[in-house]
């Protein structure tokens, strides 16, 4: 077989059935062979290579398996860099395959040559240049193994023209071991015993869980652990939907725009148990004051994250599913009624100062919170919620209800505007039976708006809720609060979205009045196929609560004038 054929056979052998890509000169030999594989591999033609990577991210988050991307060299490859960086920081498994010039032309600045290995080394879990057809099968097997095991992440294969066109015998390859790579470390029994003893001794323990719970499939184990220990738990942004919103031990989202209860209780607990999270600065606020009063246990599969930002009393290196299972066996069944009442008290303050004005406004323009709540109610908390980045992202996180796991897809660590639309396409392709609802601001929407062409061509039934306020809202909020209302280049003149929707053959409705909202949301969900719901919301509204930069997690703005 040619190297191109071996590549496609190897992708299929790894269990993949979908490729997100864009053809070009240096990957053309593979695309020529792909013509004969259309009954075995589905190819999604995106409109921009960044869209390919974000779509593959959405696909991977739903599938729990690597998304596959294929693109050409030079600008095609560099267009994918943002998505690869996003996938690394958010631990999303990808296999990105880029074409490359021939072996003899490497290093000569040939047409559309870039040093893709050098470019992607800092932003990928592993990268490798394939120069021979004989090396393709083993390289693909290794790529999928590395991408999907341990702490998942993006892997890049740079494939030269010689490797694509060369002839070799296809010998199916597998990979289940790499020397010096231990993807699933198991903590010693004595470490688990120490952790259990610390939990049993605590009067006010608190769990903060993140994306690692979802990645390890530990949602059930987390709920059982919390139930036996009677321990409240707060979620990071990427941990949302790992616990049902109605779980009695779930107290909300932590961090800059999180709920009052988990943020305030972080500064009151005597034991902080971090599970599958990395102490991101948007979670911790200023590190100097973060949970100084508490002992800390950190459970993570990546040794590099332990003691990196927050020094802990007991690091536990291991998979969240395994560790939580073992700890649940070891801890005593407990009851902590007074500690569990604390979230109720904090919620009453939040309801009065934050939630009521957002969900029950006294006239005026529509609020972002009431839009998100109306959509969440209509889909009964069972849809996949995808967001772009900005004010709407925080509002969607705060006001969405989740009654099914793997239901929140967003760009966390990198905060990539333009992520939402292609990620929603990938999520819908991964699970066509689930409703996929995208919340996107007018700024982020226009960054990858060309992917409406992908929706048109593929018939992808994504429901798009456009939070339309004519501003780069999150930046405008910071300019208002911290830069003396100097609104430097954040006001946007928007296009005619109705005309754009019509051009792509997508159903559309514009909503400006509160009285129209519920019927418009119902129409969106009842319409077959894609839908753009263009909701015009208050232009100058801010997202609260908010922990300002440089403040502790219990120094919280409830609105423009009130603080906790």
Q: 388-403, pLDDT tens digit by residue?
A: 999 999 999 999 999 9
Which DSSP string corresponds to 20-49?
EEE--GGGHHHHHHHGGGTTT-EEEE-SSH
Residues 337 and 376 in one domain: no
pLDDT value for 173: 97
Q: What is the mean pLDDT of the chain?
A: 97
Contact 151, 284 (CB under 8 A): no
Identify whether residues 130 and 248 lie together within a single domain. no
Residues 6+ apart with CB under 8 A from 8: 30, 33, 34, 37, 40, 41
> Hey, which residues does 436 pair with through a beta bridge?
384
Could you tell me if 143 and 231 lie in one domain?
no
423 and 386 Cβ atoms separated by less than 8 Å? yes
| pLDDT confidence bin for 131, thresholds 50/70/90 | very high
Cα–Cα distance for residue pair 164/129, rounded to 1 Å = 12
Q: How far is residue 190's CA from residue 266's CA, in Å, rounded to a whole number? A: 27
* Domain assignment of residue 453, given as a range: 365-536
Instruction: Label residue 432 by pLDDT band (50, 70, 90).
Output: very high
Please report whether residue 96 resides in a domain. yes
Same domain, 285 and 433: no
Arithmetic mean of pLDDT, 423-432: 98
Q: Contact, 388 vs 419, CB < 8 A?
A: yes
Residue 350 in any domain: the answer is no
For the stretch 508-557, pLDDT in tens is 999 999 999 999 999 999 999 999 999 999 999 999 999 999 999 999 99
In this structure, what are the phi and psi dihedrals at residue 181, rounded to the nearest 5 degrees? -115, 115
Give the CA angle between residues 388, 389, 394 to the nearest 5°. 105
DSSP letter for 103, please.
G
Among residues of the chain, what percentage have pLDDT more than 90? 100
Distance, CA of 68 to CA of 6 (rounded, Å)? 15
Helix orientation angle between 136-148 and 3-13, rounded to the nearest 10 degrees: 30
CA nearest neighbour of 249 among 276, 222, 283, 275:
222
The total number of residues shown for the chain amounts to: 564
| Beta-strand runs (E) in 425-530 | 436-441, 463-468, 507-511
Whether 268 is covered by a domain: the verdict is: yes
Helix (H) or strand (E) holding 3: helix 3-13
Cα–Cα distances (Å) from 184 to 138, 177, 302, 318, in that order, read: 22, 11, 9, 6
Q: What is the rounded CA–CA span in Å between residue 382 and residue 401?
A: 8
Are residues 245 and 379 located together in one domain of the fold? no
**Closest by Cα among 449, 537, 529, 538 to 496:** 449
pLDDT in tens, 357-375: 999 999 999 999 999 999 9
Same domain, 144 and 45: yes
Asked if residue 85 and residue 40 are part of one domain, the reply reads yes
Q: pLDDT tens-digit profile of 218-230?
A: 999 999 999 999 9
Domain-located, residue 16: yes
User: Is residue 85 a part of any domain in this protein?
Assistant: yes
In this structure, the answer to whether residues 296 and 421 fall within a common structural domain is no
pLDDT at 465: 98
Residue 506 sits in a domain whose CATH number is 3.40.50.970
Is residue 541 included in any domain, yes or no? no
415 and 295 in one domain? no
Closest CA to 413 of 211, 259, 215: 211
Cα angle vertex 148, ends 236, 52, to 5°? 80
What number is the average pLDDT over the span 445-454?
Answer: 98
Q: State the pTM of this model.
A: 0.97
| CA pair distance 159, 161, nearest whole angstrom | 7
Please tell me the predicted confidence (pLDDT) of residue 97: 98
pLDDT band at 103 (very low <50, low <70, confident <90, very high): very high
Q: Are 276 and 225 in contact (CB under 8 A)?
A: no
The pLDDT assigned to 556 comes to: 97
pLDDT of residue 228: 98
Q: What is the pLDDT of residue 164?
A: 98
Predicted local distance difference test score (pLDDT) of residue 8: 98
How confident is the model at residue 47, as a pLDDT?
A: 98
- Omega of the bond leading into 392 within 30 degrees of 0 (cis): no
Contact assessment for residue 537 and residue 516, using Cβ atoms and an 8 Å cutoff: no
What's the pLDDT score for residue 450? 98
Beta strands in 76-142 (DSSP E): 94-100, 126-130
Question: Which of 181, 21, 160 is closest to 94 using CA atoms?
Answer: 21
Other C-beta atoms lying within 10 Å of the C-beta of residue 95: 25
Tell me, yes or no, whether 431 and 305 share the same domain. Answer: no
Is 561 part of a structural domain of the chain?
no
Name the domain count of the chain: 3
Q: What is the CB-side half-sphere exposure of residue 532 using CA atoms within 13 A?
A: 28
Instruction: Please work out, in degrees rounded to the nearest 5, the angle formed at the alpha carbon of residue 135 by the alpha carbons of 134 and 136.
Output: 100
Within this chain, do residues 7 and 136 fall inside the same structural domain, yes or no?
A: yes
Instruction: Outline where 217-367 has alpha helix (H).
Output: 219-229, 260-266, 281-284, 320-330, 337-350, 356-359
CB within 8 Å of 270: residues ≥ 6 apart: 202, 203, 204, 205, 293, 294, 295
Determine how many CB atoms are found less than 10 A away from the CB of residue 563. 11
**Same domain for 226 and 304?**
yes
310-339, pLDDT tens digit by residue? 999 999 999 999 999 999 999 999 999 999
Distance from C-alpha of 330 to C-alpha of 42, rounded to nearest angstrom:
47
User: Would you give the distance in Å from CA 404 to the centre of its chain?
Assistant: 16
Can you say whether the dihedral through the CA atoms of 276, 86, 34, 109 is positive or negative?
A: negative
Asked whether residue 427 is assigned to any structural domain, the reply reads yes
At 330, which CATH number? 3.40.50.1220
Q: Which of 170, 213, 282, 221 is nearest to 547 (CA)?
A: 282
């Amino acid at each position: 077989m040619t190297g191109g054929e071996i590549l496609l056979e190897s992708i299929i052998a790894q269990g993949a059935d979908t490729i997100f890509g864009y053809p070009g000169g240096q990957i053309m030999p593979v695309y020529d062979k792909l013509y004969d594989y259309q009954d075995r591999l589905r190819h999604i033609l995106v409109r921009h290579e960044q869209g390919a990577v974000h779509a593959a991210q959405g696909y991977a988050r739903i599938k729990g398996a690597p998304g596959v991307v294929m693109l050409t060299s030079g600008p095609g490859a560099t267009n994918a860099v943002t998505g690869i960086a996003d996938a690394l920081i958010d631990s999303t498994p990808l296999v990105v395959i880029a074409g490359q010039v021939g072996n003899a032309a490497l290093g000569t600045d040939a047409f559309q040559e870039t040093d893709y290995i050098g470019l992607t080394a800092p932003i990928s879990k592993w990268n490798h240049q394939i120069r021979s057809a004989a090396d393709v099968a083993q390289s693909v097997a290794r790529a999928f193994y590395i991408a999907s095991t341990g702490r998942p992440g993006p892997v890049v294969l740079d494939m030269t023209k010689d490797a694509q066109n060369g002839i070799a015998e296809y010998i199916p390859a597998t990979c289940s071991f790499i020397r010096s790579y231990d993807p699933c470390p198991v903590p010693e029994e004595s470490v688990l015993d120490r952790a259990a003893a610390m939990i049993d001794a605590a009067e006010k323990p608190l769990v903060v869980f993140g994306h690692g719970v979802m990645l390890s499939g530990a949602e059930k184990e987390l709920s059982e652990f919390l139930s036996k220990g009677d321990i409240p738990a707060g979620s990071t942004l990427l941990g949302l939907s790992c616990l049902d919103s109605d779980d009695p031990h779930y107290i909300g989202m932590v961090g800059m725009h999180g709920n009052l209860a988990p943020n305030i209780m972080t500064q009151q607990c005597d034991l902080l148990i971090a599970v599958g999270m990395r102490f991101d600065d948007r979670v911790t606020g200023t590190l100097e004051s973060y949970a100084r009063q508490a002992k800390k246990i950190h459970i993570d599969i990546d040794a590099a994250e332990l003691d990196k930002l927050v020094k802990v009393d007991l690091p536990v290196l291991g998979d969240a599913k395994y560790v939580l299972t073992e700890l649940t066996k070891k801890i005593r069944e407990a009851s902590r009624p007074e500690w569990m009442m604390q979230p109720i008290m904090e919620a009453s303050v939040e309801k009065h100062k934050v939630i009521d004005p957002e969900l029950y406004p006294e006239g005026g323009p529509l609020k972002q919170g009431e839009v998100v709540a109306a959509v969440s109610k209509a889909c009964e908390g069972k849809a996949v919620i995808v967001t772009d980045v900005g004010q709407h992202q925080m509002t969607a996180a705060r006001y969405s209800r989740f009654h099914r796991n793997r239901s929140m897809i967003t760009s966390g660590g990198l905060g990539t505007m333009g992520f939402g639309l292609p990620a929603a396409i990938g999520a819908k392709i991964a699970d066509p039976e689930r409703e996929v609802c995208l919340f996107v601001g007018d700024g982020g929407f226009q960054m990858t708006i060309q992917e409406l062409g992908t929706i048109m061509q593929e018939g992808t039934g994504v429901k798009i809720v456009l939070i339309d306020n004519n501003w780069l809202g999150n930046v405008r909020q910071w300019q208002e609060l911290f830069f003396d209302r100097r609104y430097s280049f954040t006001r946007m003149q928007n296009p005619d979205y109705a005309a754009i929707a019509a051009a792509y053959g997508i159903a559309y409705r514009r909503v400006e009045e509160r009285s129209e909202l519920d019927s418009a949301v119902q129409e969106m969900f009842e319409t077959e196929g894609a839908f753009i719901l263009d909701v015009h919301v208050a232009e100058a509204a801010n997202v609260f609560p908010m922990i300002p930069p440089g403040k502790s997690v219990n120094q919280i703005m409830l609105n423009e004038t009130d603080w906790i």
